Structure 1
Amino acid sequence: MTTILDKILIEKEKEVAVLKESYQPSRDGEQVKRPSLYDVFMQSDRMNIIAEIKRASPSKGIINADVNPPEQAKQYESYGAGLISVLTDEPFFKGTMADLQAVHAAVQVPLLNKDFIIDEIQIDRAKDYGASVILLIAAALPKERLQALYTYATERGLDVLFEVHDEEEMQVAKDIGANIIGINNRNLKTFEVDLAITERLAKLVDTDKTLVISESGFQTTDDVERIKKSGIRGILVGETMMRSKNLEQTFGELRVSL
């Protein structure tokens, strides 16, 4: 059976082929010096929020088509976001690299280019457009390619959020030497969400040395208090932020003490 991830990766192959024909990396990139994601999150005494900007998703359809990315990002920053994630995939999430560029100009906090990265040229582009962090998804590529892309990104001065979904992928993260691991509570094949995934996988890593972030499924203070017990120091929140009518209140409910 073809999964949503499979479909996304097929489109990424096409996108990368076009990029290699048309995109010339600047080798400058990232004009704003942003703090280290690892340092900021590990030193914080409150739950760190990765606040996401996304217009749509394959599982939910259109979430907020009218969002103004730089204005949304400014609000996220003012209410205490430790990292802002900008979804730049267009076919499935209705994002653009222009969104990332606009947010880059608007805020000072660490900035994640949230996309499905399969090639070095996407890492070059992410840096050129202002990202200080990129995402690598263990389920998307063989271990050798993940290692090569991880090394390439870190040598270019980028932090890497390495995303895992199960025990085998967690082992890959550890083998590669990832110091920032995201545990996605959303099954990329079914898109169902279960916080127990974080509780299970976090036991496999030393959370005193590795920054572990729990991704997806956070709506209430109770959700955050639950996963905090697993040594989690950050959560990624997308849909809840995009649908929030009171961002200050939403941040207040989720930024529990650590």
Structure 2
Amino acid sequence: FAQNLGLNVLLEVHNLEELERSICPNLDAIGVNNRNLADFTVDIQTSFDLVNRIPDEFLKISESAISNPQTIKELKTAGFNGFLIGENFMKTNNPGASIKEFVAQI
């Protein structure tokens, strides 16, 4: 339905079981959320563990637990196409300036 409206569809997963159970051809992207929703801890290793399990026809997005430009470089090298970063910037006094500085280091 979303694609009929011209929208892209992103499936968010937290582990291999969710990925294997939920993957379907109508998706455009798969986001790996590195945040454990049970206790809100984050572990970037989740993305590294799942990246090669995501078929190449989907955009691969790493979500959460990204707080430095080096992590972006490593995730990109591993095969991710995009990144969701929010909390890292919202903790600063000037999120806009923080984003600009962060991106300049990539």
- SS, match of residue 12 in structure 2: strand
| 2:49 aligned with 1:200 | yes
Distance 1:176-1:187 versus aligned 2 partners, 3 A rule: farther
**What is the CA distance between 1:249 and its match in structure 2?**
4.3
TM-score (norm 1): 0.37
In our comparison, the structure showing a higher alpha carbon Rg is: 1
Look up the SS of the partner of 2:74 in the other structure: helix
Partner of 1:191: 40
Are 2:79 and 1:222 equivalent residues in the alignment? no
Deviation, structure 1 residue 176: 4.6
- CA, structure 1 residues 156+250, in 2 after alignment: closer, same or farther (shift >3 Å)? closer
1:175 has 2:16 as partner: no
Structure 2's unaligned 5+ residue stretches are none
Counterpart of 1:82?
Answer: none
Residues 251 and 181 of structure 1: is their aligned pair in 2 closer, same or farther, counting only changes over 3 Å?
A: farther
Alignment partners' CA distance in 2, 1:177 and 1:167? 19
Question: 1:185: how far off?
Answer: 0.2
Moved over 4 A (4+): none
Kept in 2: contact 1:181–1:212 (CA 8 A): yes
Whole-Å Cα distance in 2 between the matches of residues 161 and 212 of structure 1? 9
* 3-state secondary structure, aligned to 1:235: strand
1:158 aligned onto 2:7: yes
Identity of aligned residues (%): 33
Are 1:233 and 2:81 an aligned pair? yes
Q: 1:197 to 1:176 in 2, by over 3 A?
A: same
> Secondary structure of the residue that 1:206 maps to in structure 2?
coil
The aligned amino acid for 2:69 is T
The TM-score with structure 2 as length reference comes to 0.81
Stretch moving more, 217-226 or 247-256: 247-256
Kindly provide the CA deviation profile for residues 171-217 of structure 1, in whole angstroms up to 9, marking residues without a partner as x.
2343353221110000111211000000011111234x311110001
